[in-house]
């Protein structure tokens, strides 16, 4: 199948590009980062994104969505990445609603998906319990008690965990840490008794939170999918999240690279533009090549997610690992090529560097995904 965008997809991309350039330029991110009262994103911007239908872009029409497909979601993520626009797209739409779409019962889908599409419900997915993404290491325990479960433990670095109304929580109902076998997914209200939420301030100013579960009671009807067998839905949801995040990072690195290129053509030293120096030209050409390869992989992965292909896990790991390396390098090179300017708060490049490192760790570092890719390929 070709990865050339259809006419509709091109229209969506053009629309999203001008939308973020106009409504959410990097200056908005600059404004929001010091605003401790804010939700970490602009509510007005999110309202406009909802009005465009983007919260339901990959949700079926039966649940009030557009049914446009996962490629469409990727296109919006990529364009949002260019301007570092913060929104609940990843946490609520890709991960939260994604888990419900893949694993939810009819009743859960009926109750929750239209609420997401309408903008009445923010979701977050609580997976990691330490500084490194690794769902197999889940320890948070869910013990059955009558028709319910009692949750004890903690979650960390939960994307948008501080603003979500409802959480999708991965908990251990059997098995041992080190494997995703024996995990179950639960829907937990953010205001459930025994659940405390602490926002953490990150270098990229994006939302993340620590969650403490102390005897949190969850009804059996709030199990998402199968008990003890949540791994399949969990991994499929995370793979969609990894690919969508890779798309966001792809957009961000393209913009960072364009900023670099503009500077190389404008900054003069020794009486000439620094872009005339071969030492910088070759590095720029290599960055360009990395971006082109990342595009090919991310677009292929978006297609694999849209069509629920068998090679989705391999492509998700490949996309995240490749994009991690490329964005890492481009953001570092960006600071170096901007020189002293790159070290100043006034220059946007610092924002791209900060976002790069957080995004690299979110949903799996390069080494995590290289190891997973090796396992998936039988070595």
Partner 1 sequence: MMSTLEQFRLETRAWLEDNCPPSMRTPIKPGEEVWGGRNAAFHNPESKLWLERMAAKGWTAPTWPSEYGGGGLNKAEAGVLSEELKRINARTPLVSFGLWMIGPVLLEFGTEAQRQEHLPSIINGEIWWCQGYSEPGAGSDLAGLQTRAEDKGDHFIVNGQKVWTSHADQADWIYVLVRTNTEVKHAGITMLIVDMETPGISTSPIKLISGSSPFCETFFDNVRVPKDAVVGEINGGWAVSNRLLQFERENISADAFAAEKPIDLGELTKTYLGARGTEIADPVARDQLARLRMREQSLQLTIKRIMDEAEAGSSTGAVSSIIKFLGAELNKDRYEYFLDIMGQQALGWEGEGFSESELMTCREWLRSKANSIEGGTTEINLNVVAKRVLGLK
Q: Catalog residues that contact partner 1 under the rule CB under 8 A.
A: 2-4, 261, 264-265, 275-276, 278, 280-282, 284-286, 288-289, 292-297, 299-300, 318, 321-322, 367, 370-371, 373-375, 377-379
**Residue environment code for 287-305, b if the CB has 16+ CB neighbours within 10 A, otherwise e:** beebbeebbebbbbbbbbb
* Residues across the chain: 379
Q: Which CB atom, from 51 or from 374, has the smaller least distance to partner 1?
A: 374
- Work out how close the CB of 166 gets to partner 1 at its nearest, in angstroms, rounded to a whole number: 36
Which residue is listed with tokens 């979601």?
A: 73
Euclidean distance between CA atoms 246 and 319, whole angstroms:
6
- Work out how close the CB of 6 gets to partner 1 at its nearest, in angstroms, rounded to a whole number: 10
- Work out how close the CB of 75 gets to partner 1 at its nearest, in angstroms, rounded to a whole number: 16
- Work out how close the CB of 12 gets to partner 1 at its nearest, in angstroms, rounded to a whole number: 17
Q: Which CB atom, from 66 or from 261, has the smaller least distance to partner 1?
A: 261
Q: Which CB atom, from 52 or from 261, has the smaller least distance to partner 1?
A: 261
Phi/psi class of residue 378: alpha, beta or left (left: φ > 0; alpha: ψ in -120 to 50)? Answer: left
Euclidean distance between CA atoms 80 and 247, whole angstroms:
9
Q: Which CB atom, from 184 or from 314, has the smaller least distance to partner 1?
A: 314
- Work out how close the CB of 246 gets to partner 1 at its nearest, in angstroms, rounded to a whole number: 12
Tokens of 152: 């004890």
- Work out how close the CB of 1 gets to partner 1 at its nearest, in angstroms, rounded to a whole number: 9
Q: Which CB atom, from 45 or from 298, has the smaller least distance to partner 1?
A: 298
Euclidean distance between CA atoms 238 and 127, whole angstroms:
10
Distances (CA, A) of 237 to 39, 87, 132, 240, 241: 24, 19, 18, 5, 6
- Work out how close the CB of 282 gets to partner 1 at its nearest, in angstroms, rounded to a whole number: 4
- Work out how close the CB of 172 gets to partner 1 at its nearest, in angstroms, rounded to a whole number: 23
Q: Which CB atom, from 221 or from 293, has the smaller least distance to partner 1?
A: 293
- Work out how close the CB of 60 gets to partner 1 at its nearest, in angstroms, rounded to a whole number: 28
- Work out how close the CB of 228 gets to partner 1 at its nearest, in angstroms, rounded to a whole number: 23
Q: Is 66 exposed, middle or buried (0-12, 13-18, 19+ CB in 10 A)?
A: middle
Q: Which CB atom, from 244 or from 321, has the smaller least distance to partner 1?
A: 321
Residue 89 DSSP one-character state: I
Q: Which CB atom, from 85 or from 294, has the smaller least distance to partner 1?
A: 294
Nearest to 90 by CA among 101, 103, 104, 76: 76
Tokens of 182: 């024996």
Euclidean distance between CA atoms 319 and 292, whole angstroms:
12
Q: What is the DSSP string of 139-194?
A: --EEEEETTEEEEEEEEEEEETTTT-SEEEEEEESSS-TT-STTEEEEEEETT-TT
Residues in Cβ contact with 264 at an 8 Å cutoff, skipping those fewer than 6 apart: 273, 274, 275, 280, 284, 337
Which residue is listed with tokens 């991690």?
A: 324
């Amino acid at each position: 199948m070709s990865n050339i965008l259809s006419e509709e997809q091109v229209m969506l991309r053009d629309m999203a590009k001008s939308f973020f350039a106009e409504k959410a330029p990097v200056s908005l991110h600059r404004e929001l980062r010091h605003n401790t009262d804010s939700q970490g994103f602009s509510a007005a911007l999110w309202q406009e994104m909802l009005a465009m239908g983007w919260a339901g872009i990959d949700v079926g029409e039966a649940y009030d969505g557009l049914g446009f497909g996962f490629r469409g979601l990727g296109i919006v993520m990529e364009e949002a990445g260019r301007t570092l626009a913060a929104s609940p797209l990843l946490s609520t739409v890709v991960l939260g609603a994604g888990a419900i779409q893949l694993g939810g019962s009819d009743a859960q889908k009926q109750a929750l998906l239209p609420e997401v599409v309408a903008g009445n419900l923010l979701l977050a997915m609580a997976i990691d319990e330490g500084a490194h993404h690794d769902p197999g290491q889940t320890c948070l325990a869910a013990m059955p008690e009558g028709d319910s479960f009692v949750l004890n433990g903690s979650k960390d670095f939960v994307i948008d965990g501080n603003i979500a109304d409802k959480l999708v929580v991965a908990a251990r109902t059997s098995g041992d840490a080190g494997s995703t076998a024996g995990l179950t997914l639960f829907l937990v209200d953010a205001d459930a008794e025994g659940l405390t939420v602490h926002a953490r301030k990150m270098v990229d100013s994006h939302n993340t939170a620590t969650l403490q579960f102390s005897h949190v009671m969850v009804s059996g009807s709030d199990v998402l999918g199968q008990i003890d067998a949540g791994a399949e839905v969990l991994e499929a949801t995370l793979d969609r999240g990894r690919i969508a995040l890779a798309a966001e990072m792809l957009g961000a690195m393209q913009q960072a690279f364009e900023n670099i290129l503009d500077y190389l053509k404008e900054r003069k030293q020794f009486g000439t533009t620094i872009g005339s120096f071969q030492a910088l030209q070759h590095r720029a050409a290599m960055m360009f090549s990395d971006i082109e390869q990342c595009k090919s992989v991310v677009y292929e992965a978006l297609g694999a997610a849209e069509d629920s292909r068998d090679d989705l896990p391999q492509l998700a790991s490949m996309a995240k690992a490749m994009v991690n390396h490329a964005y890492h390098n481009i953001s570092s090179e960006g600071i170096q090529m901007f020189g002293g300017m790159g070290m100043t708060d006034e220059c946007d490049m610092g924002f791209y560097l900060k976002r790069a490192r957080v995004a690299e760790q979110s949903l799996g570092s390069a080494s995590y995904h290289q190891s997973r890719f090796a396992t998936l390929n039988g070595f």
